Structure 1
């Protein structure tokens, strides 16, 4: 039996974060919730282990794009799922440096689509 996927989630809207965390936990994931990109970066720097990054784009202190680039500086193949209400006009290329799998979902997010996206990016590196 394989261990559950560990998801580092950066989401600054607390109600959305709570709903997402509950839905992902029910789907069998272990969720490490961070209130924004800076908090997620601090969790990673403190040694938190995770398999996939799930991040919003627009957040205070450190946005999702910068979080992706900083975490991928250490882990280039890190699987990432981005969730946003404001997709970049340039599309996914604005977020993707080509080093690891990345999916972009537009809010509001259906939990089944989110679960499928997390599983897809995680399986592409295993």
Structure 2
């Protein structure tokens, strides 16, 4: 499988409570060829995740109703391999370690303000890591014995 091709046109769920930031992210990622679904907070993102398929979660940490801190483990309980890009304006001193300890799945961290190109690169990086991990798991999985019809 060509991973470069597989990473084009990703379906991205973006949880961002600042409407202007969400619109800029949506427009930019659409320009990169991705499909973007916006959620104004973690609760809305959780509802969307139940209804639609997506490849990568991009989330703010500080949002009303349900924070990114709450959203990430809830979604990873359903999809442990979910690639996540966290964007935040404030990270507590041990925040990166806390996020990384939330599971072994691919995770990238962007501190606000950031360049859209950095966001796009982080999305491609976590999606590629997830694709490589998935391929490795499939390759390592035991194969059923061949059925011999003689």
TM-score range, shorter chain: over 0.9
**Secondary structure at 1:88's aligned position in 2?**
coil
For structure 2, the residue ranges without an aligned partner over 5 or more in a row are 132-150
Match of 1:93 in 2: 97
Match of 1:24 in 2: 29
Higher relative contact order (Cα pairs below 8 Å, separated by 6+ residues)? 1
Query: Which structure shows the higher helix fraction?
Result: 2
User: How far 1:52 sits from its partner (Å)?
Assistant: 0.3
User: Quick one: distance in 2 between partners of 1:18 and 1:109?
Assistant: 15
**Normalized against structure 1, the TM-score is what?**
0.94
- Residue 37 (structure 1) aligned to one of 42, 52, 57: 42
Matches within 5 A, 1:1-126: 2=6, 4-45=9-50, 47-96=51-100, 97-126=102-131
Contact 1:10/1:34, CA 8 A, preserved across alignment = yes
**Normalized against structure 2, the TM-score is what?**
0.80
User: How far 1:98 sits from its partner (Å)?
Assistant: 2.6
Contact 1:88/1:94, CA 8 A, preserved across alignment = no
Per-residue CA distance 1:94-121 (angstroms, 9 max, x = gap): 1232330001100112000000000000
After the TM superposition, list the runs of 4 or more consecutive aligned residues in structure 1 that deviate by more than 2 angstroms. Answer: none
User: How far 1:4 sits from its partner (Å)?
Assistant: 1.0
Which deviates further from its counterpart, 67-76 or 94-103?
94-103
Which deviates further from its counterpart, 59-68 or 85-94?
85-94
**Aligned-residue CA RMSD (Å):** 1.1
